[in-house]
């Protein structure tokens, strides 16, 4: 028997122990016999490449759940089962939703190449010899869309050779698997290889929740959190609340899984899921494919949710079988009671959606929670003055690049071709992985999409994250694009603030690209064929998985060697792409006196505004260089401009990074004032590293996005919130702030802020925080990494 998936193995020790327990029991059920047979076969083929850390522990999950269930004495949600099932100390951990901090033991870590650079640089700084849990690096962010798949990939390998070499050698040195450029988007690779029902996986990308489509709790984090887990330290997470979304009815016609999350985003908004796991349940889930469930979970990041998850069902089993993991499906069947919610479990909020009544949606522009039915968006666009002509349609991304997604788009395109039509708009296609690319090439989907006018891009993030060398418009030109992506903030895709980006399903993108206008509704409207006859597109109906086996395509995985003693990881001191880290300074034991306000931000400030992506991705491994993009997209309330702030010493307006560097050089410590949900969007910890590197000490806002708040704490900064949100209006960019109470810094105890106005008057306000004792130690040590080193001494 051949090993079908050498990158994901059952713990042989666990398997053998399980077999012993089975064969010493008095009776052997059919299921037990089946499980025992599979595990015996698995043990035979896996011994040659077994690694102690690469395992699946359903038995430990069950043990921990049983401990917690007895303590809480109530029905558990699925989210609670998986999260509490990974507690470091289930017998003694204090558990209260929304309040206590849980200490968890994740099963696995995944990092994309842009964030992996800083994560691995931090891990190297820790001085540890090997990662303590299975970890992987995925090269997907640094490939710019320009000419097409193969050409763009070759160009990326040449431009990014230094970075790829660093990641490959660091992975080999420290025991981290390495997926080479061209392998695909991190979340699709995780779904195909690593996610499974009941797993707790953390990833250094905000869309890690994609794995919830396969029944796992998969959470996006910053690189410092990943370092903790890779170092074998229990990982902290505030005990999540649980939002239930009950699905009834069934999907049909033009309505797709994407429409479920577009609808939910419209209900909850970009911060409605903050501090909570969104748990889907109900009879409607059976009408959604596994990859469709992944789409829904993926875009849950846009509502601020900790993650999203679906219960284990036959659609997941079908996907596991098709991706070479039938043994995991068998184990999941055995432990399935722990992979679904208990009857009668309590949700902190409950939303009900009837899938039979749900209509196709399109969200945008400029924010992913502005929801419109497709039938109405054209009218709304005309009323609002948004361009209705579509310049480009783009399908793919980590949200919608599965075999089913590509098939549904191809089915729409095939109908247009049959009537002699091609896309009126430009059209691009991004396969989710090398396996998806190879399979859609074999099955003809890729050629159909090319024939209708599409360009197949590399298996990478591309335009979704701003890696798009767009040539059809000039910056500042007002235009509309439609995508099957997840995020549509201002300038997100092409760095043009006048691009109106709309998010919808791949099949709706394809239909709209063929029609060329937002005013087209494929459910009711007709197209005119080349012969002059009118016709209506039929809703796509295709297989969710290929009938034949997936074509794996090229082998793009590098397994870490068993002996890495001779492996070197070099970082040139003159490199412009990579820079070894220097420890941040420790807290000096004093209150923060007379902090200068670097910028008071007006309105939405995402991590794209704080640390832009696109062309800046090349500096993700060089902290000083990438700090030149600090807050360049944030709007200064003083003048309504981006990247223009007053230097308090010279009184001249200049770029934000230059002003921060001036303050740092002259020993002036500073603070940022922000609005609601500050730091929403990507998990990028550079948005926390940069202000720390350039002399920042605190970020004071009305509220924070979860990941960004944690990232700030990890780097020794103070993320603080106004006890009274109206106090935001009391602070002016020319004021100075003093933060008092740090000597008695304690959980739940507000800090005092004295606002010093230029005219000599003062006001005192209170600032709240969410620090616990461990996180306060990070602040005192100067960063979580500093604290880790202290504990090793």
pLDDT in the model for residue 223: 85
Query: What is the rounded CA–CA span in Å between residue 107 and residue 54?
Result: 9
User: Which of 636, 638, 637, 658 shows the shortest CA–CA distance to 649?
Assistant: 658
pLDDT in the model for residue 65: 97
Q: Beta strand 135-138 with 108-112: parallel, antiparallel or unpaired?
A: parallel
**Whats the size of the chain, residue-wise?**
793
- Determine the distance from the C-alpha atom of residue 338 to the mean position of all C-alpha atoms in its chain, rounded to a whole number: 25
Contact 121, 570 (CB under 8 A): no
Contact 472, 389 (CB under 8 A): no
CA distances from 661 to 69, 150, 612 (A): 53, 41, 18
Q: In degrees, to the nearest 5, what angle opens at C-alpha 56 toward C-alphas 52 and 60?
A: 100
In 639-684, the DSSP E strands lie at 641-642, 645-646, 653-654, 670-673
List Cβ neighbours of 401 (8 Å cut-off, separation of 6 or more): 185, 188, 395, 430, 431, 432, 433, 436
Q: Beta strand 670-673 with 592-600: parallel, antiparallel or unpaired?
A: parallel
DSSP helix/strand/coil, 685: coil
Question: Please, where in the chain does CATH 3.30.499.10 lie?
Answer: 78-240+255-354, 361-535
DSSP helix/strand/coil, 597: strand
Contact 374, 361 (CB under 8 A): yes
pLDDT in the model for residue 222: 85
φ/ψ (deg, to 5) at 646: -80, 130
Query: What is the rounded CA–CA span in Å between residue 748 and residue 768?
Result: 8
Largest Cα–Cα distance of the chain, in whole Å? 85
Beta carbons within 10 angstroms of residue 161's beta carbon: 11
Beta carbons within 10 angstroms of residue 652's beta carbon: 10
CATH number for 592-791: choose from 3.40.50.300, 3.20.19.10, 3.30.1300.10, 2.60.40.1180.
3.20.19.10
**What secondary structure does DSSP assign to 743-756, as a single string?**
GG--TT-PEEEEEE
* Assigned token pair, 154: 């070759």
List Cβ neighbours of 709 (8 Å cut-off, separation of 6 or more): 679, 719, 770
HSE (side-chain half, CA atoms, 13 Å) at 432: 27
First to last CA, the chain: 48
Classify the C-alpha dihedral 283-288-289-295 as positive or negative.
negative
Query: 549 exposed, middle or buried (CB, 10 Å; 0-12, 13-18, 19+)?
Result: exposed
**What secondary structure does DSSP assign to 513-553, as a single string?**
HHHTBTT--TTT--EE-TTS-EE-PPPP---SS-SS-----
DSSP 8-class letter at 561: P
Helix 506-515 / helix 403-418 crossing angle, nearest 10 deg: 20
Query: What is the rounded CA–CA span in Å between residue 390 and residue 511?
Result: 11
- Radius of gyration from C-alpha coordinates of the chain: 26
CATH class of 361-535: alpha beta
In 83-163, the DSSP E strands lie at 101-104, 108-112, 135-138
Query: What is the rounded CA–CA span in Å between residue 13 and residue 1?
Result: 20
Contact 228, 784 (CB under 8 A): yes
Four-point Cα dihedral 654, 660, 666, 669, nearest 10: 130
Fold of 78-240+255-354: Aconitase; domain 3 (3.30.499)
Contact 278, 308 (CB under 8 A): yes
User: Which of 468, 466, 412, 407 shows the shortest CA–CA distance to 432?
Assistant: 407
CA distances from 164 to 180, 462, 518 (A): 8, 17, 40
Contact 732, 644 (CB under 8 A): no
pLDDT along the chain (793 residues), means of 10: 38 40 38 41 32 65 97 98 97 96 96 94 91 96 90 93 96 96 96 97 96 98 91 94 98 96 94 94 97 97 95 98 95 96 97 97 94 96 97 96 97 98 97 96 97 96 92 94 94 93 98 98 97 97 96 94 88 92 94 97 94 87 95 96 96 97 97 95 89 97 93 96 97 97 96 96 97 95 91 76
Q: In degrees, to the nearest 5, what angle opens at C-alpha 103 toward C-alphas 116 and 701?
A: 70
User: Which of 326, 336, 550 shows the shortest CA–CA distance to 432?
Assistant: 550
pLDDT in the model for residue 55: 56
Query: What is the rounded CA–CA span in Å between residue 106 and residue 234?
Result: 8
User: Which of 4, 34, 25 shows the shortest CA–CA distance to 331?
Assistant: 34
Residues annotated catalytic, as ranges: 140-141, 205, 487, 682, 684
Question: Please, where in the chain does CATH 3.20.19.10 lie?
Answer: 592-791
User: Which of 292, 285, 298 shows the shortest CA–CA distance to 542?
Assistant: 292
């Amino acid at each position: 028997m051949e090993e079908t998936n050498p990158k994901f193995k059952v713990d042989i020790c666990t398997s053998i122990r399980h077999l012993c327990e089975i064969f010493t029991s008095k009776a052997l059920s059919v299921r037990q016999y089946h499980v025992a047979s599979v595990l015996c076969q698995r043990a035979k083929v896996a011994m040659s490449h077994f690694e102690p850390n690469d395992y699946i522990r359903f038995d430990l999950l069950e043990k921990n759940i049983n401990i917690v269930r007895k303590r809480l004495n109530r029905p558990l949600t699925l989210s609670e089962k998986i999260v509490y099932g990974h507690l470091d100390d289930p017998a003694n951990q204090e558990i209260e939703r929304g309040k206590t901090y849980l200490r968890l033991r994740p099963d696995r870590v995944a990092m994309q190449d842009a964030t992996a650079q800083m994560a691995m640089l931090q891990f190297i700084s820790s001085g540890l010899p090997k990662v303590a849990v299975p970890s992987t690096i995925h090269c997907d962010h640094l490939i710019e869309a320009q000419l097409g798949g193969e050409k763009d990939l070759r160009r990326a390998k040449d431009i990014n050779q230094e970075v790829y070499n660093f990641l490959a050698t660091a992975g080999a040195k420290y025991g981290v698997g390495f997926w080479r450029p061209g392998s695909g988007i991190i979340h699709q690779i995780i779904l195909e290889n690593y996610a499974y029902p009941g797993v707790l996986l953390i990833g250094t990308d905000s869309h890690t929740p994609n794995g919830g489509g396969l029944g796992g709790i998969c959470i996006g984090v910053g690189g410092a959190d990943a370092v903790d887990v890779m170092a074998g330290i229990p990982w902290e997470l505030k005990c999540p609340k649980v939002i239930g979304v009950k699905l009834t009815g069934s999907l049909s016609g033009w309505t797709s899984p994407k429409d479920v999350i577009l609808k939910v985003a419209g209900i909850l908004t970009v911060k409605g899921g903050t501090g909570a796991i969104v748990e889907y349940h109900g009879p409607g889930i059976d009408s959604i494919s596994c990859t469709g469930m992944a789409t829904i979970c993926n875009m849950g990041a846009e509502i601020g949710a900790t993650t999203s998850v679906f219960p284990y069902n036959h659609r997941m089993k079908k996907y596991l079988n098709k991706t070479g993991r039938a043994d995991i499906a068998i184990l999941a069947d055995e432990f399935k009671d722990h992979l679904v919610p208990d009857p009668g479990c309590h949700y902190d909020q409950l939303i009900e959606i009837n899938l039979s009544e749900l209509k196709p949606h399109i969200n945008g522009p400029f924010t992913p929670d502005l929801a419109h039915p497709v039938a109405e968006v054209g009218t709304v666009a005309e009323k609002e003055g948004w361009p209705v002509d579509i310049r480009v349609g783009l399908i793919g991304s980590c949200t919608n690049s599965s075999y089913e997604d590509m098939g549904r788009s191809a089915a729409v395109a095939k109908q247009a071709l049959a009537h002699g039509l091609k896309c009126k708009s430009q059209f691009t296609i991004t396969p989710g992985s090398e396996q998806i690319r190879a399979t859609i090439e074999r099955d003809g989907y890729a050629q159909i999409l090319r024939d209708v006018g599409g360009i197949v891009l590399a298996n990478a993030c591309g335009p979704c994250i701003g890696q798009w060398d767009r040539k059809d418009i000039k910056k500042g030109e007002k235009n509309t694009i439609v995508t099957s992506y997840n995020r549509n903030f201002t300038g997100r895709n092409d760095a043009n603030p006048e691009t109106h980006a709309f998010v919808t399903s791949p099949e709706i993108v394809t239909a709209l690209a063929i029609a060329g206008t937002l005013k087209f509704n494929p459910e009711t409207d007709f197209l005119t064929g080349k012969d002059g006859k009118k016709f209506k597109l039929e809703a796509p109906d295709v297989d969710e998985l290929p009938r034949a086996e997936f074509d794996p395509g090229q082998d793009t995985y590098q397994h870490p060697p068993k002996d890495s003693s001779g492996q070197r990881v070099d970082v040139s001191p003159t490199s412009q792409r990579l820079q070894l880290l220097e420890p941040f300074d420790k807290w000096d034991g004093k209150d923060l006196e007379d902090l200068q306000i670097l910028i008071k931000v007006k309105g939405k400030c995402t991590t794209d505004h704080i640390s832009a992506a696109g062309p800046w991705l090349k500096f993700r491994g060089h902290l000083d260089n990438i700090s030149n993009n600090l807050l360049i997209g944030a709007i200064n309330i003083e003048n309504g401009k981006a990247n223009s702030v007053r230097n308090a010493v010279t009184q001249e307006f200049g770029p934000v990074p230059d002003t921060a560097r001036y303050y740092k050089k002259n020993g002036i410590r500073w603070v940022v004032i922000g609005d609601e949900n500050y730091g929403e969007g990507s998990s990028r910890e550079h948005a926390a590293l940069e202000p720390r590197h350039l002399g920042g000490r605190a970020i004071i806002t009305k509220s924070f996005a979860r990941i960004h708040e944690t990232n700030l704490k990890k780097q020794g900064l103070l993320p603080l919130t106004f006890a009274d949100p109206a106090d935001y209006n009391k602070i002016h960019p020319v004021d100075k702030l003093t933060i008092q109470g740090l000597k008695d810094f304690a959980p739940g105890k507000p800090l005092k802020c004295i606002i010093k106005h230029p005219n000599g008057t003062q006001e005192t306000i209170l600032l709240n925080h969410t620090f616990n004792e461990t996180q306060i130690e990070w602040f005192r040590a100067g960063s979580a990494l500093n604290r880790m080193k202290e504990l090793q001494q």
